[in-house]
Amino acid sequence: MNRIAIFTSGGDAPGMNAHIRAVVRSCLNRGIEPIGIYEGYQGMIDGDIATLGRKETANIISRGGTILKTARCEDFKTEQGRERAAKNVRDHGIEGIIACGGDGTFHGAHYLYQEHGIPIVGTPGTIDNDLFGTDYTIGYDTAINTAAEAIDRIRDTAESHGRVFVVEVMGRHAGFIAMDVGVACGAKAIAVPETHTDLADLAGRINEHAHRRTIIIVGEGDQLGSATDVSRMLKESYDIDSKVAILGHIQRGGTPTVRDRVLASRLGVSAVNMLLAGKSDCMIGEHAGEITTTPLNETWEKKKPLPTFYVELSSVLV
């Protein structure tokens, strides 16, 4: 291969810039021209494509977000949109693509390969850590550390005022962030989509504290609803007053942790290696410290299980 492109798509994740840098450096070291596709699939359709080099990727390893930007692209969901994208890829002489993102990104990459035969591999860039085939995703470690720091600050106020705080963290339909920060921050209860959340049990745990000063963690996508819903139900059914804190997109931004920078760099180099080895239509991940490949369709067709020890810890350490 003489030209390999990289793009980022879907939600941004801390470590994406470190990943871009690693792909560029790996290509240059092999005599391959690295190409950047801006604005994700939208840029692929619009032809927003340019050569990347050491200058463009200097001093970005510690920056959050993505220098290549990202965007949602409805046009790429159509055959006509994918055909335009494939034409632009070929017109720019691109012979392989690295797609960094989540399951939506991988859906698009899978169709691009199936319909147009363009060699493409995916790398897991999402704070949710919900992709089957890798132990950790780029951005996850930074997100949980950011959330934990925020929750520690909220606890100070909860203790000072004797209040119940219901804190909502991101994760979509996966409870990895909620479980990690809940255990790490000593939450009284953790509500996640993978487990049944009993409102009566939740109220009982809160009432164990005479002054009702405690933290409840709610992962978005929980069966009871959002943190606002849980707070309302606690008041209506058990006369428990609580404050709501929704951490939201603060979890996506900021300087990536060392762990995320190293993971992003390792996956970037490995993605280039896999393309050169003829691999395609697969995700490059890390499992038990080893680089692995997983067919792209399996990353969303198979459910990544939440380790059972989380449930035990959250029950024992209340």
Which residues form the catalytic set? 128
Cβ–Cβ under 8 Å, residues 168 and 192: no
Burial category of 79 from C-beta neighbours within 10 Å (exposed 0-12, middle 13-18, buried 19 and up) = exposed
Residue with token string 């909860």: 158
- How many whole angstroms from its chain centre is CA 291? 18
Beta strand 282-287 pairing with 243-246: unpaired
- How many whole angstroms from its chain centre is CA 247? 15
Ramachandran sector of residue 172 (left: φ over 0; alpha: ψ -120 to 50; beta: rest): left
Comparing CA positions, the residue from 61, 70, 62, 63 lying closest to residue 22 is: 61
Concatenated DSSP letters of 229-272: HHHHHHHHHH----EEEE-GGGGT-SPPPHHHHHHHHHHHHHHH
Helix (H) or strand (E) segment spanning residue 85: helix 79-91
Query: How many contiguous H segments (helices) and E segments (strands) does the chain have?
Result: 11, 11
